Amino acid sequence: MALLEILNLSKSFGGLQAINNVSLSVKENTVHGLIGPNGSGKSTFFNLITGVYQPDKGSLIEFNKVDITDKPAHFIAAQGLARTFQLLRLYGELSVLENVMVGYHPHTKYGLLAPLFMGSEVRRQDKLVKAEMIELLEFIGLAEHAEIPAAELSGGQRRLLALGRAIAMRPKMLLLDEPGAGLSPVNVDNLMATIMTLKERYNLTIIVVEHILKVVMSTCETISVLDHGQKISEGNPDFVKNDPAVIEAYLGKEMADDDIRLAMNS
Amino acid sequence: MRLLNKTLVGAFTACVGFGAAAAYADDIRVGITMRMVSENGQAYGQMMMDEIKGINEAGGINGMMIKATLMNDECKSDKGVANANKLVFQEKVHLLIGSSCSSVTLPIVDVTAKAGVPQLVPHSTNSKITQKGSEWIFRIPVSGRYYGGVNAKYVGENIGTKIAYICAADAASVGDCANLEKQMKARFGVEPAYRADVQEKEVDFRAHMQKIKSMNVDGILVAALAETMARALVQSYEAGIGADVRRIGSSSASNAPVPKIAGDAAKGVFFAAAYAAADQRPIAKLFNEMVKSRYGIHAPDHDFSQAYDLVRIMEIALKNANLTGSLADDRTAIRDAIANVKGYQGLASGPISFCADATPQCRDGNRTAVLIGYTKGGEDFETEVIARVTMEEDFGLE
Amino acid sequence: MSFLSKITDFFEYLAKRHRLLPWVFAYVALIPLPFILSALFNEYLIDLVNRICLFILLAVGLNIVKGFCGQVTVGHIGLYAIGAVTSAVLSLEPGGFGGALGFGWPIWLSIPSAVLVTACAGLIIGLPSVRLEGAYLALATLGLGESVRIFIAVTPALGSSTGLMMIPAPSIGSYTFDSFTSYYYLVMTAALVGIYFSFSILQSATGRAFQAIREDTIAASVNGINIIKYKLLAFVLSAIYAGLAGALFAHMPPGYLHHNNFTVIEMVTLLLMVVLGGIGNVWGGVIGAIVVAIAYDQTKDLVFYFMDRPIVIQPLVFGLSMVLLVMYMPRGIGGWIEDFQRNRRFIRKSEERASGSTRNT
């Protein structure tokens, strides 16, 4: 069953057609890869799904049978769609614990003004949330840094925290925007292992945008390829790997077959 | 952290310090709160301090020195009230002088009334100041309620009753316009022949001036702040309105920029004030020279003369008051001594008299305004006294 | 250090017993203050403390929108004006001495109404924040705040140039809050409750949402925070503080309001309190308000004689010392507090670790 259904998604900025008539369907409990050369529209695609940008007319995005096409970001988040950012966008001055607690925000049980009038109830609930979040931090290995500001974490820890913050939203689907960017190969492997454990543990459906093709090829059931805002290929890793359209988009026409395989597998 | 501790200790010491500043037993303590932001504002306060210093150097008040504290209230009521509270409760002054702006003096009246401290008003003209029923308030300037009547009386009797009004939107001009309109109606039963309400910093009066020209009026009231008034005056001549139509200035006309900017167009403009630099009495000539040599100011306006008269009246009252050393008693004695000042002839346009009742009739000391006309505009402007008008004690009271 | 630590330890001990206990203790400790001040020094200091309490309310309120939520607003003083004028006009007798508008409402009704009106005005001042950020937002709020002042200045019914006068002091039965000491209990209570609520907000999901918006608006929206709703909420909350401070200012004897109490200069002074205190830190804002108010008061009668002529040097001294403070203490006093707290946490952790390891062996 498709959890996310995208039909004829388009977005233009002035004269630039960033996304052009892309349709996509993601099944529940799968890992879907999204690849494409720089500037092919992958990040824009994520921004459209999560409500950071509004799609052009005629587009349709359905998540969990709810139309989220023109809905604001916070509404989409509340439907169970979480994401990470390529540039992380952590709340630098807030502590690690507070960062994940902000992630938990859509599930807060008390109202906006409750802190003014129901102090004890707020504290009781916050205590429960805190305990749950500490557990999550323990799982991703950040519990001992819970009190320090996010800005003081190391690069790898920050990526973990960004992931933790998204998980704290208890999403049904997780969109990962280049989770391994800037990490060493060993760390990337570790991160992907963590992501896979999280997927099992929290029953997640994942879409991952990644430049390191090896990661995508080894973890994704289905891969879609974007180029110049259009979907040029889709299928299982083996199919995509050998699709001439993909090879052309990535590497140009002239390269020899063997060179391409080498590049894709490295 | 040690720094924080040090700061706390320092703050505490400072607290002790500012509590202990009070009480020199043998001084007469006087507190002054005034607007000290403009160039002239500085000079007014400075002149009071200089005059008080002069009294001390000449032997003081029956052997006692006057210790004056000068504070700046920036013409803001909250700061003026804070100053007054500080002077009354911390410096424990015998007498409070303040303030320049009516909006600051109005609330201070309540402070001094409640605390029982005599207050001398140097500059504020708002008529409500003395109508609050305080026994402790004394006003040196001419009250606003008199000015409106003075203008109307002179205009109606000497110029005519067909008057065009140009009223800018600043607070003072709005009030001046309303006062003249009200008094013209009460005295002569006439409405304005023409009335234009313009912006505070209006630049183009030509359309209004053309209309006024076609109406053949006796006079034009130009109520606006100095620069705006100067522009309107110049444009009235450009529109071809002759010099036989008298230009009446609002209270801002006494400000030097009016003749300086308007130049020849300022000639013939007249306004009411409490002091004329063109006054030919020896005391006035001496005063003009003193202000010129000490503060470098040509043709002092009435805010100078009022500050000077205030110090003189204070001196008289302090000398007559029987001071015992008990603060509350001394404050009462000084209040009663000020109330006993009768017919003081100083620089002001008329004699200044007070009496014991807590009424505006008793506490608005000066009932005589002088009408001043510009005889020459430009940098070296000159003025003349056109008339002195004395109003009845209860004029302008509802 | 040890002195401060002991105080902090004591308050933490109280907080463990009951979360309200430290506040109750602080309140009780503040009750005798006016008597101490007038016995040791003089009554004027009570008046100063009263004004400081109003500044604390204003600074703590401004901190919610600027410190917590990161929205630059220069319209806060306009809200203060709305609170003050609304409560004054509602409580003045119709056709009273000042000639202004009056409705003759009881004060205990006019103050809450003024707070309500100010909250609505806060919503309006907050509206530009939906679309604007940074300097543009500052300009928009500046315009709105200043237009409030100008509206008061040109409307005779609201005081215009003469101001609103003889605004009654609050009273219960025959007891009137018209002395420094009695008014102290009103404003001190308001300030303490204000600080308490400010902490309640900061330490809840609402406060975390505000801070998330400050740190990264896009990430916050994707985390499920309704940006518009929370930004406006921050403005409304801070308006409630400003409205209450304004109303209490209006009724504070001698009960006089003038539009020039609410100019941009006053706004800058407020911003200074928040910046000096350390943006986003509640205690910083409180201490900033205290320091600025005392510094202002202490430099007031500094008259410098240059060539025998008195020159009031307060603006110079005040301005210069503030520039230096902001230059050399960019994180403000709140920075000190945060360092202090973090040091304590660090020390405690290492102590715990040390005792834990000894137990293990």
CATH value at residue B181: 3.40.50.2300
For residue C278, give the 3-state DSSP assignment: coil
Residue B1 has pLDDT above 70, yes or no: no
Query: Which residue ranges of chain A lie beneath pLDDT 50?
Result: none
- Look up residue A26 and give its two tokens: 């993601």
Note whether B132 contacts C256, CB cutoff 8 Å: no
Q: Contacts of residue A94 in chain C, CB cutoff 8 Å?
A: 208, 211-212, 215
- pLDDT of the residue at B397: 81
Interface probe with B: pick from C162, C296, C317, C346, most Cβ of B within 10 Å:
C162
* C242 to A196, B1, C130: CA distances (angstroms): 51, 33, 21
> Which residue has tokens 């030919």?
B280
Query: C-chain residues within 8 Å CB-CB of B169?
Result: 154
Q: How many CB pairs under 8 A join B and C?
A: 128
> Are B20 and B134 in a shared domain?
yes
Tens of pLDDT, residue by residue over C324-350, are 877 887 788 878 877 887 787 777 777
Residues 377..396 of B with a Cβ closer than 8 Å to C: which? none
CA-based nearest distance B103→chain C, Å? 6
β-strand partners of B219: B163, B246
- Give me the residue label for tokens 């949330």: A129
Averaged pLDDT for residues B310-339: 95
User: In angstroms, rounded to a whole number, what is the distance separating the alpha carbons of residues B393 and B380?
Assistant: 37
Instruction: Please state the domain extents for chain A.
Output: 1-80+171-266, 92-169
Q: Tell me, what's the pLDDT at A253? A: 54
B32 in the same domain as B135: yes
The region that residue B298 occupies, defined by phi over 0 for left and psi between -120 and 50 for alpha, beta otherwise, is beta
Instruction: Tell me whether chains A and B touch (3+ CB pairs under 8 A).
Output: no
Which of C255, C232, C321, C228 lies closest to C87 in space, CA to CA? C255
- For chain C, the structural domain boundaries read 1-30, 40-266
Q: What's the confidence (pLDDT) of residue B176? A: 82
> Exposed, middle or buried, A112 (CB in 10 Å: 0-12/13-18/19+)?
middle
Search chain B and give the residue with CA nearest C303: B70
3-state secondary structure string across B185-241: HHHHCCCCCEEEEECCCCCCCHHHHHHHHHHCCCEEEEECCHHHHHHHHHHHHHCCC
Residue in chain B nearest C50 by alpha carbon: B82
According to the model, what pLDDT value does residue B23 have? 45
C-alpha span between C120 and C125 (Å, rounded): 9
Shortest alpha-carbon distance between residue B6 and chain C (Å): 10
Give residue B15's pLDDT.
46
B115 and B174 part of one domain: no
- Which residues touch B93 (CB under 8 Å, ≥6 apart)? B29, B30, B31, B69, B87, B117
The pLDDT of residue B127: 86
Q: Which two tokens mark C180? A: 């420094």
Which are the contacts of B343, defined by CB distance < 8 A and separation ≥ 6? B351, B352, B353
Q: Which tens digit of pLDDT belongs to each residue from A203-224?
A: 999 999 987 777 788 889 999 9
| Residue B249 binned pLDDT confidence (cut-offs 50, 70, 90) | very high
Q: Under 8 Å CB-to-CB from B146, ≥6 apart: which residues?
A: B364, B367, B369, B391, B395, B396
The answer to whether A184 touches A74, Cβ cutoff 8 Å, is no
pLDDT tens for each residue of B177-209: 888 898 899 889 999 999 998 887 889 999 999
Average pLDDT over residues B123-137: 91
Q: What percentage of chain B's residues is helix, strand, coil (to nearest 5)?
A: 50, 20, 35
Using the predicted structure, report yes or no on whether residue B24 has a pLDDT greater than 50.
Answer: no
**Is the CB of B4 less than 8 angstroms away from the CB of C340?**
yes
Tell me: do B243 and B379 sit in the same domain: yes
CATH of domain A1-80+171-266: 3.40.50.300
Do B103 and B50 share a structural domain? yes
| Structural domain containing residue B221 | 146-278+370-390
Contact C298 B108 (CB under 8 A): no
pLDDT value of residue B348 = 92
Name residue B396's beta-bridge partners: none
| B44 or B26: which leads in pLDDT | B44
Q: Which of A52, A119, A123 sits opposite C222 (nearest CB)?
A: A52
Examine the pLDDT at B12 and tell me if it is beyond 70: no
Residues B231 and B314 in one domain: no
Interface touch C301/B70, C-beta < 8 Å: yes
Question: Does residue B1 form part of some domain?
Answer: no
Mean pLDDT by 10 residues, chain C (361 residues): 77 86 93 94 94 96 93 93 97 87 94 97 93 90 92 86 90 92 96 94 93 95 95 96 97 93 89 84 90 85 68 74 78 80 78 64 40
The answer to whether A32 touches A223, Cβ cutoff 8 Å, is yes
Counted domains in chain B? 2
B23 touches chain C (CB under 8 A): no
Residues B126 and B219 in one domain: no
Strands B66-72 and C309-312: unpaired
Q: Which of C42, C254, C297 sits opposite B111 (nearest CB)?
A: C254
Q: For chain B, give the mean pLDDT.
A: 88
- Measured in whole angstroms, the distance separating CA B204 from the mean position of its chain's CA atoms is 30
Starting at the edge strand found earlier in the chain, the sheet holding B194-198 runs B194-198, B163-168, B219-223, B246-249, B270-273, B368-376, B382-390
Testing the interface with A: which of C193, C215, C223, C352 to mutate, by most A Cβ within 10 A?
Answer: C223
